[in-house]
Amino acid sequence: MKPEVVVNASPLIFLSRGGHFDLLQTCAERVLVPSAVVQEISARGPHDPTVQCIRSAAWLTVVDVVAIPASVLSWGLGAGESAVLGLALSGTGRTVLLDDMAGRRCAVAHDIPLIGTLGLVLEAKKSSRLAYARPVLEDLLRGGMYLRRSVLDAALALVGE
């Protein structure tokens, strides 16, 4: 289990819509969400499932990000992605959970460990926190996550499904 994971909007949205928000608890000792990400999601309104999940998850820590390094800002990412990467850089042992390709490239350029929503599900299966990954991934796809079927099948083959 990772010490801390910093989560961006899309994994929060996919996991809440798919009914697997609690899976975040299994990936790290502390789950951090920058306040900029919460603001982005809150714009969806109080009845949005992700807004409700964030409000009810006592185990999730919302963090204000004071300063984002210029090296991150130069990538021209959205406020949420920039805050996720800035927060990850402000502490040691932090992994980012994000799906956005530009944000992932920035994380790699800054040597920040990263994982996506697909990787989170596969890790949960590998560590026996999930009996099966396929039903969870199918729920996430129904909730709006996009994966080509060939990518899904290849990923499931990695965990014996």
Question: pLDDT in tens for each of the 161 residues of the chain?
Answer: 789 999 999 999 999 999 999 999 988 999 999 999 999 999 999 999 999 999 999 999 999 987 899 999 999 999 999 999 999 999 888 999 999 999 999 999 999 999 999 999 999 999 999 999 999 999 999 989 999 999 999 999 999 99
Q: CATH number for the domain including 141? A: 3.40.50.1010
In the chain, what is the straight-line distance between the N-terminal and C-terminal CA atoms, in Å? Answer: 22
What are 157's two structure tokens?
A: 């083959």
Of 144, 142, 9, the C-alpha closest to 77 is: 9
Q: Would you tell me how many other CB atoms lie within 10 Å of the CB of residue 27? A: 22
Domains of the chain: total: 1
How far is Cα 21 from Cα 38, in angstroms, rounded to an integer?
15
Phi then psi for 117, rounded to 5 degrees? Answer: -60, -45
Of 37, 25, 22, the C-alpha closest to 136 is: 22
Residue 27 lies in domain: 2-158
